[in-house]
Structure 1
Amino acid sequence: MATFEDNLGGRLALLSRDKLNSDQKKLYDQLQDTMVPWAKKSGFQADTFDDRLIGPFNAMLRSPAISKALMGVTAAEGKETSLSEKVRQVVILTVGAAWQAAYELYAHVAVGKKAGFDEATLQALVAGQKPTGLNQEERVAYDFTHRLVTTHQIEAELYEQAIVTFGEKGVVDMIYLAGQYMTVSGLLNTFAVPAPPAQ
């Protein structure tokens, strides 16, 4: 009998570890050791009560070698970025709103709360609107990311603002981060992955 948790895979069945091949098991174990504890600490759900992965992580099991490489990019971005945590969450939530990726918005509203954003700011970002309470860096990050993911072009004035605010490395870091979450949002939307119901 199917449970509500079975529906958390969207168009994909949730995979149990005992049904995985050896490469999938290695990725599964990596995700259970890194992403699941981070999700719990951040206040969102990344697996089911019986340890099946949800969100983008279930889809990632279908292509373990490339997904493992993507996780390497995720780890490098977290360690080497020049962006503040609040700027990172503005970028991520702006991408999620443009893509209307339900699980991504659910997860990063929780992460955004941990980063120190209030509810009104988070709800504006989720709605695809520029919040009024952002500082200068966060405003530029929102404008840059919103243009990048909606028009795919950065006009000269905004480019100059981004360079002055973040430097060349920071601009590249923003583009990498936005691209990473466009990939995540693409996985979530293609496989119609929902956010878990409120508990």
Structure 2
Amino acid sequence: MSIRNHGLGGRLPLAERAALSERRQRLFDRMAETVAPWAEHHGFVSRTEDGRFIGPFNPALLTPVIAGRFLDFQAAEEENTSLTARVRQVVILTVGAVWRSAYELYAHSAAARTTGLSQEAVEALATGDMPGELSASERTAWRFTRGLMAERRVEQPVYDEARTAFGTEGVADMVLLIGAYQTVCGLLNTFEIPVPETSHGD
């Protein structure tokens, strides 16, 4: 499978490592060691065949210090959250659906499938719907995220439901996860970063 490179940076050119400052090269190398294998494991493309980053990882190179700390935050969230992998992906896809963020939905549709969510459920989440196959706690996570994203508030019954399902710590974990992926979607939408087109063969 090969990637058609045209326009993958959206409003930005795709950065080549050799042209980057030393600080940006350090972030590039860190992402090559961490982000790229993570993406490959979850079944989505994060780099071109010549090694340049696509998705939110290319604009991350514009602000290497802040982006590096943001990667630290994301790693801390994923490693220490009280939420299950499926709940996390329900939340992330719900954020992506509200933002209509193409690359985010592409990447985390793939990641969500690795948690056991069906293709039908993933497609429903990506279009903003709540799939019938979700567990009670996953439906709660969807309602909580959708409410906070769409209405900028969480109604008391939804909050109470979330606190019962996840505890107060879990509610805080969801809010931090939502915030992280709003940042990612903001980068993607600002720079109009598309989904990579792939072709088989070559």
TM-score range, shorter chain: over 0.9
Structure 1 segments unaligned to the other structure (5+ residues): none
Instruction: Find the aligned partners of 2:178 and 2:4 in 1 and give their Cα distance.
Output: 31
The answer as to 2:144 corresponding to 1:151 is: no
Instruction: Find the aligned partners of 1:59 and 1:152 in 2 and give their Cα distance.
Output: 27
Query: Once the two structures are aligned, what percentage of the paired residues are identical?
Result: 44
Output the amino acid matched with 2:34: T
The one-character-per-residue Cα deviations of 1:59-111 (angstroms, maximum 9, x if unpaired) are 00000000001000011011100000000000000000000000000000000
**What is residue 192 of structure 1 aligned with on the other side?**
192
Instruction: Report the 3-state secondary structure (helix = DSSP H, G, I; strand = E; otherwise coil) of the residue aligned with 2:114.
Output: helix
CA contact (8 A) 2:4 2:196 kept: no
CA drift at 1:198: 4.2
Output the amino acid matched with 1:34: T
**What is residue 26 of structure 2 aligned with on the other side?**
26
Instruction: Report the 3-state secondary structure (helix = DSSP H, G, I; strand = E; otherwise coil) of the residue aligned with 1:193.
Output: coil
The one-character-per-residue Cα deviations of 1:114-158 (angstroms, maximum 9, x if unpaired) are 111111100100111111110011000000000111101101111
Relative contact order: is structure 1 or structure 2 higher (C-alpha 8 Å, sep ≥ 6)?
A: 2
The one-character-per-residue Cα deviations of 1:146-197 (angstroms, maximum 9, x if unpaired) are 0111101101111100101000110000000010000000000000000111
**What is residue 166 of structure 2 aligned with on the other side?**
166
The one-character-per-residue Cα deviations of 1:22-81 (angstroms, maximum 9, x if unpaired) are 110111011110010010111000000000000000000000000001000011011100
Give every structure 1 segment of 4 or more consecutive aligned residues whose post-TM-superposition deviation is greater than 2 Å: none
**What is residue 69 of structure 1 aligned with on the other side?**
69
Instruction: Find the aligned partners of 2:198 and 2:164 in 1 and give their Cα distance.
Output: 41
RMSD of aligned Cα (Å): 1.0
**What is residue 109 of structure 1 aligned with on the other side?**
109
CA contact (8 A) 1:6 1:13 kept: no
**What is residue 132 of structure 1 aligned with on the other side?**
132
CA drift at 1:4: 3.8
Structure 2 segments unaligned to the other structure (5+ residues): none
The TM-score, its normalising length taken from structure 1, stands at: 0.97
